Amino acid sequence: MEILDKADFPIVALVTSINVILAVLGYAFIFVALAKSANLRRSSPWLLSLGVADLLFTVQVAMVAVACYMARWPFGDFGHIVHAYLALCMGLNAIASNAGALLDRLEMEKKTVLISSNKLALIGFAWTSGVLISFLYYLIIKPFTVTDTTFGCLVNLDDKALLPRLIIVFLSFGWFLVPVYYMARCCLLMGDSGKSAALIPASFLIAYTPFAICSLLSVTVGLDRIYYNNIWIHLMPKFTSAMNPWLHLYLNPQLRKVCSDMFLGNGQEKMH
């Protein structure tokens, strides 16, 4: 993440801190609910995948928050690599898992298997793809050297080579348009209940559309300043890790019931 104006440090520190708090609190509810409900674990395996990916993604958000509070990058070169890798790898895994969580919801409503009964294999494939793509990306596109205002940048816009730019174009389309298509299709197949479930692809579009467009413009026609100058272009995708747990708590009736039973003391379901 590139922050050109140090005057933006306080607002970035505040937003990223709120992000971390909301993500950790939201997924604490979800993980406890998953631990308590065997039915929920069976019906929503992608939800656990989403939680793990989002919390690991939140680690790099917390690193930005600390750096902005201290007005310097305190984690060294290795921390810089960790930040960049988590941002890309866990971002990809969270996007795939969010689409999978909507598929879980659709299959629950239709009471049928739509893609594969072996969901763990699908989750493993999604995670393996995210890890390998991110590793190859890192080998080809070296992140920036750490500066006072550069925190784990993923895109080196000073590199004019064709291959790195083609990879960015592929990621912008492959991990943006394809998940949007599948999430929107799941919502349409849900019928009336899909209207509320559409909040998930809608939030994804709001968060990632400016980032995807500006990344594409930066690597294709060279409008680098758009990519650099607006901190919100970078903050909005990061905030998805804070929005996702609360959206699923609101939209998943089974998850909501397990959580309410925990607080009301009505949960009788066995853990095994």
pLDDT in tens, 244-262: 999 999 988 888 889 888 8
Radius of gyration over alpha carbons of the chain, in Å?
A: 19
Q: What does the DSSP assignment read for 58-121?
A: HHHHHHHHHHHHHTS--SHHHHHHHHHHHHHHHHHHHHHHHHHHHHHHHHHHHTS-SS-S-HHH
CA distance 100 to 44: 9
3-state secondary structure of 208: helix
pLDDT in tens, 38-92: 888 888 889 999 999 999 999 999 999 998 898 888 888 788 888 888 888 898 8
User: Closest by alpha carbon to 82, among 65, 101, 61?
Assistant: 61
| pTM over 0.75, yes/no | yes
Architecture of domain 6-264: Up-down Bundle (1.20)
User: Closest by alpha carbon to 183, among 268, 238, 264, 251?
Assistant: 251
CA 177 vs CA 44, 124, 173, 184, 201: distances in Å: 24, 21, 5, 10, 11
Give the start-to-end residue ranges of the domains of the chain: 6-264
Task: Enumerate residues 6+ apart whose C-beta is below 8 A from 185.
Answer: none
Total residue count of the chain as it appears in this document? 272
pLDDT in tens, the chain (272 residues): 666 567 888 999 999 999 999 999 999 999 999 998 988 888 888 999 999 999 999 999 999 999 889 888 888 878 888 888 888 889 889 988 998 888 888 887 777 666 666 788 889 998 998 888 888 777 766 655 555 556 555 555 555 567 667 777 777 777 778 888 888 888 888 877 778 888 888 998 899 888 877 777 776 776 655 555 678 888 898 999 999 999 999 988 888 889 888 877 764 444 44
21 touches 55 (CB < 8 A)? no
∠77-232-130 over CA atoms, to 5°? 55
